[in-house]
Amino acid sequence: MLNPEVLVQLHHIVGDQGLRTDVLSLQTYGRDWTKIYEPAPSAIALPKSTEQVQAIIQLANQAGFKIVPSGGRTGLSGGAVAAQGEVVVSLERMRHILDFNVQDRSLTCEAGVITAQIQQFAAEQNLFYPVDFAAAGSSQIGGNIATNAGGIKVIRYGLTRQQVLGLEVVTGQGELLKLNHGLVKNATGYDLRHLFIGSEGTLGIITQASLQLIRAPDNLTVLVLGVPAFAALMQVLLRFQANLDLTAFEFFSAEALHYVVQDQGLAKPFATPAPYYALLEFENDSAGREQAALQAFQDGLAQNIVLDGVMSQSQTQAKALWRLRELISETISVYTPYKNDLSVRVSQVAEFLQAVDQLVAERYAAFEVIWYGHIGDGNLHLNILKPATMEKADFFEHCAAVNEQVFALTQSLKGSISAEHGVGLLKRDYLAYSRSPEEIAYMRAMKALFDPNQVLNPGKLLS
Ligand code: 2HG
Ligand code: ZN
């Protein structure tokens, strides 16, 4: 627990409104959406400025307490969990958009701005911020950058990394860095900005960011297709990509659809049953594009790689079709899912999906596997649901055993054991399945350089 003297000093930095130690706040700010860890922070500090963030980190270095940086806490790998008496530093009071430049098409904002507000601000300028995912209404841009968030439009626009033009960061030893200053081109050596993107709050706390906005896509149109097999999903991708620049290519299994239809009261996209569904999105900005999509659909039917399909006729219908995919994670969260977030190269997805599916079935036939994800990026969300009759501890034991096999398979294909959710606490002990000993040694050296006293996010990413 924190020395009372330190609490007084923290109070001096952030004031009455910026310090909380009540039980509800400790419980709320000490956990993220991973849910499996018991929160136990000492205090919650809510700075209002970069100077206050810097003063807190400097105090932590002097007084020896640890810090968990905290955004919207929507992460699924325990990266924002405070379970060891740390001080949570929440950026939620730093929520201002500070600047917009029409010629640069960029905005600068504080780290606590909610992702959806950035999307909204961009739309008001007739522009577009392309990083999007179901948690965008709660997640904060600082957290998105710290985890290099992905989501549903990566296939066309890239990850958060591709949108960041500049960063302001306070390092683990309390220095202020201003990186890249919004420049598009800057070939002056190591780009430290990219080191902080995806560093999960272990090297510094991001306080401000400049983001590139882009032309808003025109008339986004959604297709949902029923598909007979894993391999056919990837053939559908090839077929449509030959004709169109897709802005999304997602998939989900019949089991996933079953839960969103049953629990959220959504309508099925069409009556024909299918074991898998692909959700595609494209800019329907000319008659030629719609024609190309319809042609690819007809060809898919003729080749038996598509069983049935529906194409949105309005933005309302497009949104309704998206809900079938976006609500899966939230819907199944009540069935105690064991989660994995894997990726392999796109060309290896079909083989990988089949092999993992078989591994899980061999381990325990009663496991219900819910497949979905950003299959066009090679990113698969594997969720195994706890059978109602099985004890939680038994279930997690089975899953951990099968997980070792899944990770070994991922390693053999040079894939990733965490494609977009980060490493945090949950995947930390498995890092070596995706990163070499030499890489991990360099990562440790980076940590020692920027955070020599190990003040920031202890135990996350690296043990
Ligand atoms: C998604 O794509 C999210 O829906 C959550 O990344 C994935 O819950 C999951 O496994
Ligand atoms: Zn995802």
Q: Are 106 and 123 in contact (CB under 8 A)?
A: no
How far apart are the CA of 144 and the centre of ligand 2, in A?
13
Nearest-atom number in ligand 1 for the CA of 374 is 2
Considering the domain delimited by 220-329, tell me its CATH architecture.
2-Layer Sandwich (3.30)
Nearest-atom number in ligand 1 for the CA of 339 is 10
Nearest-atom number in ligand 1 for the CA of 152 is 2
130-153 pLDDT per residue, tens = 999 999 999 999 999 999 999 999
Q: Which residues contact 211 (CB under 8 A, 6 or more apart)?
A: 106, 107, 108, 109, 118, 129, 141, 163, 164, 165
| Whole-number Å distance between alpha carbons of 209 and 380 | 29
Q: What's residue 122's pLDDT?
A: 98
Task: Categorize the per-residue pLDDT at 365 as very low, low, confident or very high, splitting at 50, 70 and 90.
Answer: confident
Give the burial string for 418-428 (b: 16+ CB within 10 Å, else e): bbbbbbbbbbb
Once rounded to an integer, what is the mean pLDDT over residues 179-183?
A: 98
pLDDT exceeds 90 at position 366: no
E-strand stretches of 23-150? 43-45, 67-70, 87-90, 97-101, 106-110, 127-128
Q: Whose CA is nearest to atom 8 of ligand 1?
A: 329
Once rounded to an integer, what is the mean pLDDT over residues 294-310?
A: 98
52-63 pLDDT per residue, tens = 999 999 999 999
Q: What's residue 167's pLDDT?
A: 98
**4-93, CATH topology level:** 3.30.43
Ligand 1 residue neighbourhood (C-beta within 6 Å): 76, 134, 329, 339, 341, 381, 383
**Ligand closest in space to the Cα of 339:** 1
pLDDT exceeds 90 at position 35: no
Once rounded to an integer, what is the mean pLDDT over residues 440-456?
A: 98
Percent of all residues in the chain with a pLDDT value above 90, rounded to a whole number: 98
Q: Element (H or E) spanning 171, and its range?
A: strand 164-171
Q: Whose CA is nearest to atom 4 of ligand 1?
A: 329
pLDDT exceeds 90 at position 461: yes
Average pLDDT, the chain: 97
Q: What's residue 334's pLDDT?
A: 95
Task: Categorize the per-residue pLDDT at 186 as very low, low, confident or very high, splitting at 50, 70 and 90.
Answer: very high
Q: Are 142 and 136 in contact (CB under 8 A)?
A: no
Percent of all residues in the chain with a pLDDT value above 70, rounded to a whole number: 100
Once rounded to an integer, what is the mean pLDDT over residues 301-308?
A: 98
Q: What's residue 314's pLDDT?
A: 97
How far apart are the CA of 329 and the centre of ligand 2, in A?
9
Q: Whose CA is nearest to atom 9 of ligand 1?
A: 329
Q: What's residue 13's pLDDT?
A: 98
How far apart are the CA of 367 and the centre of ligand 1, in A?
19
Same fold, 220-329 and 336-420+428-437: yes
Check whether domain 336-420+428-437 has CATH 3.40.1280.10, yes or no? no
211-258 pLDDT per residue, tens = 999 999 999 999 999 999 999 999 999 999 998 999 999 999 999 999
Nearest-atom number in ligand 1 for the CA of 326 is 4
Q: Whose CA is nearest to atom 2 of ligand 1?
A: 373
pLDDT exceeds 90 at position 201: yes
Q: Which of 147, 328, 334, 374 to mutate to test the pocket of ligand 1 (most atoms within 8 A of CB)?
A: 328
pLDDT exceeds 90 at position 103: yes
Domain spans, the chain = 4-93, 97-215, 220-329, 336-420+428-437
374-402 pLDDT per residue, tens = 999 999 999 999 999 999 999 999 999 99
Nearest-atom number in ligand 1 for the CA of 328 is 4
| Whole-number Å distance between alpha carbons of 170 and 126 | 33
Task: Categorize the per-residue pLDDT at 363 as very low, low, confident or very high, splitting at 50, 70 and 90.
Answer: confident
| Whole-number Å distance between alpha carbons of 223 and 248 | 10
Q: What's residue 9's pLDDT?
A: 98
Considering the domain delimited by 97-215, tell me its CATH architecture.
2-Layer Sandwich (3.30)
How far apart are the CA of 248 and the centre of ligand 2, in A?
12
Residue count (the chain): 463
